[in-house]
Amino acid sequence: IRKVSAKRAAHRASKLGQSGMEYMGIAATLPCAACGATHRHRELHHCKDKPLHGEDGPYQKSPHKHVRTGDLDTIPLCKFYCHAGGPQSYHKDRDGWNDRHGPDYGYILPTRALVAARLAEIDF
């Protein structure tokens, strides 16, 4: 099991961290944001593409080198075809993936809307 830093453990225990974990738990149940597949195993992808100069991105926490984006900046991608496994997946062919699907941050707002709709369905 991978060791969790004290900083990350404190974040996960905080109210913000708990809401982020809830968000990601629901986002992981959604169809793949890129291809729409529901029958394949999905993983959450922390978006990494930077908006064009002068363009506002939808990020909660902007992407920087060696810094992960925020919990609300995750999107579900099918594990093999779109995320990390296949030859045309985001992590194997980022430029080709962006040519086919557009920048990954373009899927943040639709994912947030779907999660919000799911949260509205839950009767607390």
pLDDT tens figures, 101-119: 999 999 999 999 999 999 8
Residue-wise pLDDT for 55-89, tens only, equals 767 877 777 766 778 889 999 999 989 999 889 99
Residue 58 near residue 66, CB atoms below 8 Å: no
pTM of the predicted model as reported, rounded to 2 decimal places: 0.83
Closest-CA residue to 79 (of 90, 63, 67): 90
Is 80 exceeded by the pLDDT of residue 2?
A: no
List CB contacts of 29: < 8 A, sequence separation 6 or more.
Answer: 76, 118
Give the pLDDT band of residue 16 (cuts 50, 70, 90): confident
What are 74's strand-pairing partners? 46
Number of Cβ within a 10 Å radius of residue 111: 22
Which of 118, 78, 117, 68 has its CA nearest to residue 101?
78
